Chain A
Amino acid sequence: MSIRTVRVLMAAAMAFAAVTCGRQAPDLGIAFVRSVTGTAVRVSGLTAAETSALRAASWGAAEWRPLLRVSVEQAGDVSVAGDYAIGVDAVEFTPLFPFDAGRTYVVRFDPARLPAPRHVPIVESRLVAVATPRPSPTTVLDIFPSGNTWPANALRFYIQFSGPMARDAGTRHVHLLDAAGGAVDDGLFTPVVELWNRDQTRYTALFEPGRMMPGLLPNLQLGRPLVPGRQYTIAVDRDWPDAEGQPLSEGFRRSFMATAPRDQALNMNDWQITVPPAGAADALVVRLPSALDRALLERGLSVESAAGAVAGRIAIGPNETEWRFTPVAAWAPGPYRLRAIPELEDIAGNRLALPYEQTAASPAGAPSNESRLTRVLVIK
């Protein structure tokens, strides 16, 4: 006889003793209660003998479920995963994850499944977790590139939202339309991977990668999705759900003209830099001959002095063609370095001294090559 069997028999004996002592079992009740671990479901009205018997039975989840089952309404017979606890006159179920606000849960307690069965009807209750006020619907703040001309070999674009979005298939809600409003077939990447930032407020959409790589089959089959000289629109559907399950406050559209492919490596020497005077905390301004990738521009440039990185605030100017750096403290006179990360690139994937399509004639462009990634500035 196993230890578990002994425990069950002991529990049954204790419950039987309680009943035969003539005690009247109280009515059973089901309610949400707050516990230290969050909201739990409590079934009250058990006798001390019944809870003692449960304690002695030392059940696992598989044995608890026939007695106390919590499930999502209209979700069939699947029980919510969670932990069971036994009190003096009650048992509690705490879900593995907090109950969803506003969702209805069905709680079913079958007294006949107690170690010493209590032959009263099954108690079933529907509980609704308290709904919290929903935040305002999420909006699309912008699409980057923000300019109205995009190179025909643009690899991607970013959709910036005002709040977290649901982890949903983005390209079901994002469309590339031609000038007539028709969808550009196979223009955007089928979302077998979803590229979000950490808080799901920014979605990266890719143009079909195979079509963007000259000489590979998809490019030879259909060419690039964007044709220079033609007008296109990125349309974001209103029904894209946010993290609260709400649709966007409204759809969003961004039209642009496709221009000639951009296939030249970036060169820091082409950048126009306005160096502020010493003693002031004015912004150092870098004006770019063509737009850089918004995300990389936000993190890809920094200013260093002999003492190390200069603390300051970065702002991106119109159409991602301007980078402004305002120091926390006034500039001291002396030499500085504007430093770029090797990954800094434009929206077509061209990097400093390294075009997206590299040929044998391209500079080797070792990422560690200091000269191509820095520019010396002198503040007087």
Chain B
Amino acid sequence: MPSGRFTKRAAGWAVVLCAIAALLSVRSLRARSVDAGATLQSIGAIAFAPDGVLIAADPSAQALVAISLPPEPRGAQPSATSGVVDVDEISRKVAALLGTGVEAVTLVDLAVHPLLHSAYLSVIRGHGARARPVVVRVGASGELEVVNLANATMTSVAFPSSRGTDPAGRGNRLLTVTDAAVSDGRVFVAGVSNEESAGGLWSVAYPFAPESSMTVADVLVANRKQARMRAALLSLLPLPIGGQPQLLAGCLCSSLLTVSVADVVAGRSVLGSVRLEMGVSNVPVDIVAYERDGQTFFLMSTGARTLLKMSDFRTVRSGLEAPTGAPVATGEAIAAMNGIEQLDLLDGARGVAIVRDPAGARRLTTFPLP
């Protein structure tokens, strides 16, 4: 984990990469408009804004939707000490709630309401043209409830449309939003394209306003030989470093990057500095941070479906060092969470996760932060 040597090297790289980035272009395309009467055509990744508004990706509409949820049923809110309970076979139960079989539902994402501490799931029922978006709330007793989106107020902002012709009108090019985070009055969105070799980092002012528009920039990652390649991001976590707002970003290339929030503006390059390398197939899928005894820890679920607890890489480093100059991530594997697919913080002391067992059954589980 980080040391003085690492810090100097990282600083050196930052200077080099910043200079390089200045030469590189950034796409800054205007979103079409803000739609104050939006409906969901589909659903992808979800995240909550600090005010309890649900931010959801709508892949089919290629839009980001802010959903003011209807009030939760009386008495259904978990208390500060109860929180989400474990729900066994949650895929099967969600499928049953939606009147179908487990093979027809996809649990896309999990997010915890920051004020009410209820867990929400974005779910797709069905496949192909019959796929329908659903938001499911997990109640205080583990009961599942479909959120009535007809009673929700939705405002959407469109992603910049893809360039080029689409003569058959098939919409083959699709952005898959992998994560969203709200920080300092902006929503940051990570995503992966199903075509070009780039993801991107989108941002838009929050709350969405009629004049809101989305900007997008390529994120680059550099190796020691100064080669720079386009990177796609899977996860985002706002994280101040040195008093400056940063985004800690999990990259498809099995690395953890930091991106300066100040750089994510129209007309500027976005530079990712490699902070940690995870190794083959170990992509950082979800990342949360928490404080324990005055120290920051990170929990990271990986593409290998493991959960790692890591000390703050900003102050501690391992003896290993990847050729990029960044340390190789080491952490304490939480064996009880093997099979983890989704992760979020429930509160300052507990996390909530969806874990898939070897037989394929998924359970929603609340666990004390290690």
A residues contacting B by CB (< 8 A) are 70-72, 75-76, 78-82, 95-97, 99-100, 103, 105, 155-156, 163-167, 186, 189-190, 192-200, 202, 204, 206, 208-211, 213-218, 220-222, 241-243, 245, 293, 295-296, 298-302, 309, 313-314, 341-345, 349, 356-360, 364-368
- What residue of chain A has the Cβ atom nearest to residue B328's Cβ? A217
B residues contacting A by CB (< 8 A) are 20, 23-25, 27, 59-60, 92-93, 95-101, 103-104, 106, 124-132, 144-146, 162-167, 170-174, 176, 178, 192-198, 220-221, 223-230, 232, 234, 252-255, 274, 277-281, 283, 285, 303-304, 322-324, 328
Give the residues in chain B near A96, CB-CB below 8 Å.
Answer: 98-99, 146
Dominant SS among interface residues on chain A: loop
Q: How far is the CA of A356 from the CA of B253 in the complex (A)?
A: 14
Q: For the complex formed, measure the closest distance between the CB of B343 and the CB atoms of chain A, giving whole angstroms.
A: 12
Give the residues in chain B near A194, CB-CB below 8 Å.
Answer: 176
Give the residues in chain B near A298, CB-CB below 8 Å.
Answer: 167, 172
Q: How far is the CA of A207 from the CA of B173 in the complex (A)?
A: 19
Best-surrounded residue of B178, B254, B324 (most CB of chain A within 10 A): B254
Give the residues in chain B near A163, CB-CB below 8 Å.
Answer: 128
Q: For the complex formed, measure the closest distance between the CB of A324 and the CB atoms of chain B, giving whole angstroms.
A: 13
Is the CB–CB distance between B224 and A81 below 8 Å? no
Give the residues in chain B near A367, CB-CB below 8 Å.
Answer: 25, 27
Give the residues in chain A near B171, CB-CB below 8 Å.
Answer: 197-199
Q: A103-B100, A296-B196, A302-B165 are in contact. Are A243 and B280 (CB under 8 A)?
A: no
Is the CB–CB distance between A217 and B97 below 8 Å? no
Is the CB–CB distance between B223 and A214 below 8 Å? yes
Is the CB–CB distance between B100 and A72 below 8 Å? yes
Is the CB–CB distance between B97 and A78 below 8 Å? yes
Is the CB–CB distance between B172 and A295 below 8 Å? yes
Is the CB–CB distance between B24 and A210 below 8 Å? no
Contacting residue for B194 out of A197, A299, A301, A313, CB 8 A: A197
Is the CB–CB distance between B25 and A366 below 8 Å? yes
Q: For the complex formed, measure the closest distance between the CB of A296 and the CB atoms of chain B, giving whole angstroms.
A: 6
Is the CB–CB distance between B104 and A217 below 8 Å? no
Q: How far is the CA of A296 from the CA of B324 in the complex (A)?
A: 31
Q: For the complex formed, measure the closest distance between the CB of B227 and the CB atoms of chain A, giving whole angstroms.
A: 4
> Which 9 pairs across A and B sit closest by C-beta, in order of nearness?
A215-B223, A164-B128, A243-B128, A299-B164, A75-B96, A349-B197, A78-B96, A243-B127, A210-B254
Give the residues in chain A near B132, CB-CB below 8 Å.
Answer: 97
Is the CB–CB distance between A198 and B60 below 8 Å? yes
Is the CB–CB distance between A198 and B324 below 8 Å? no
Is the CB–CB distance between B25 and A300 below 8 Å? no
Best-surrounded residue of A82, A192, A202 (most CB of chain B within 10 A): A192
Q: How far is the CA of A157 from the CA of B174 in the complex (A)?
A: 15
Is the CB–CB distance between A166 and B170 below 8 Å? no
Best-surrounded residue of B27, B104, B252, B281 (most CB of chain A within 10 A): B281
Is the CB–CB distance between B252 and A214 below 8 Å? no
Is the CB–CB distance between A210 and B95 below 8 Å? no
Contacting residue for A198 out of B20, B92, B172, B220, CB 8 A: B172
Is the CB–CB distance between A186 and B99 below 8 Å? no
Is the CB–CB distance between A214 and B277 below 8 Å? no
Give the residues in chain B near A217, CB-CB below 8 Å.
Answer: 254-255, 277-280, 322-324, 328
Can you report 25 A-B residue pairs in the complex whose CB atoms are below 8 A from each other? A72-B95, A75-B96, A78-B144, A80-B98, A95-B99, A163-B128, A164-B129, A167-B124, A167-B127, A192-B285, A193-B192, A195-B176, A202-B172, A204-B195, A215-B227, A215-B324, A216-B253, A217-B280, A218-B254, A300-B164, A313-B167, A343-B164, A344-B164, A358-B220, A359-B228
Contacting residue for A208 out of B173, B255, B280, CB 8 A: B280
Contacting residue for B100 out of A100, A192, A202, CB 8 A: A100
Q: For the complex formed, measure the closest distance between the CB of B101 and the CB atoms of chain A, giving whole angstroms.
A: 7
Give the residues in chain A near B234, CB-CB below 8 Å.
Answer: 192-193
Is the CB–CB distance between A314 and B167 below 8 Å? yes
Q: A194-B176, A358-B228 are in contact. Are A343 and B198 (CB under 8 A)?
A: yes
Is the CB–CB distance between B280 and A186 below 8 Å? yes
Give the residues in chain B near A243, CB-CB below 8 Å.
Answer: 126-130
Give the residues in chain B near A71, CB-CB below 8 Å.
Answer: 96
Q: How far is the CA of A305 from the CA of B125 in the complex (A)?
A: 46
Q: How far is the CA of A214 from the CA of B328 in the complex (A)?
A: 16
Is the CB–CB distance between A80 and B99 below 8 Å? yes
Is the CB–CB distance between A360 and B93 below 8 Å? no
Q: A189-B252, A296-B196, A342-B163 are in contact. Are A100 and B99 (CB under 8 A)?
A: yes
- What residue of chain A has the Cβ atom nearest to residue B92's Cβ? A75
Is the CB–CB distance between A213 and B253 below 8 Å? yes
Is the CB–CB distance between A345 and B196 below 8 Å? yes
Further pairs besides A97-B126, A186-B281: 13, Cβ < 8 Å: A97-B100, A100-B104, A186-B280, A190-B283, A197-B174, A200-B127, A210-B252, A213-B253, A216-B274, A216-B322, A299-B167, A299-B173, A367-B27
Is the CB–CB distance between A196 and B194 below 8 Å? yes
Is the CB–CB distance between B278 and A200 below 8 Å? no
Q: A197-B172, A200-B127, A293-B195 are in contact. Are A364 and B96 (CB under 8 A)?
A: no
Q: How far is the CA of A302 from the CA of B166 in the complex (A)?
A: 11
Q: A76-B93, A80-B99, A341-B163 are in contact. Are A349 and B230 (CB under 8 A)?
A: yes
Q: A215-B223, A358-B228 are in contact. Are A200 and B254 (CB under 8 A)?
A: no
- What residue of chain B has the Cβ atom nearest to residue A222's Cβ? B280
Give the residues in chain A near B228, CB-CB below 8 Å.
Answer: 357-359
Is the CB–CB distance between B172 and A80 below 8 Å? no
Is the CB–CB distance between B25 and A314 below 8 Å? no
Q: A96-B98, A193-B178 are in contact. Are A359 and B226 (CB under 8 A)?
A: yes
Q: How far is the CA of A218 from the CA of B93 in the complex (A)?
A: 38
- What residue of chain B has the Cβ atom nearest to residue A364's Cβ? B23
Is the CB–CB distance between B164 and A100 below 8 Å? no
Give the residues in chain B near A213, CB-CB below 8 Å.
Answer: 221, 223, 229, 253
- What residue of chain B has the Cβ atom nearest to residue A75's Cβ? B96
Give the residues in chain B near A190, CB-CB below 8 Å.
Answer: 281, 283, 303-304
Q: A189-B252, A195-B176 are in contact. Are A299 and B166 (CB under 8 A)?
A: yes
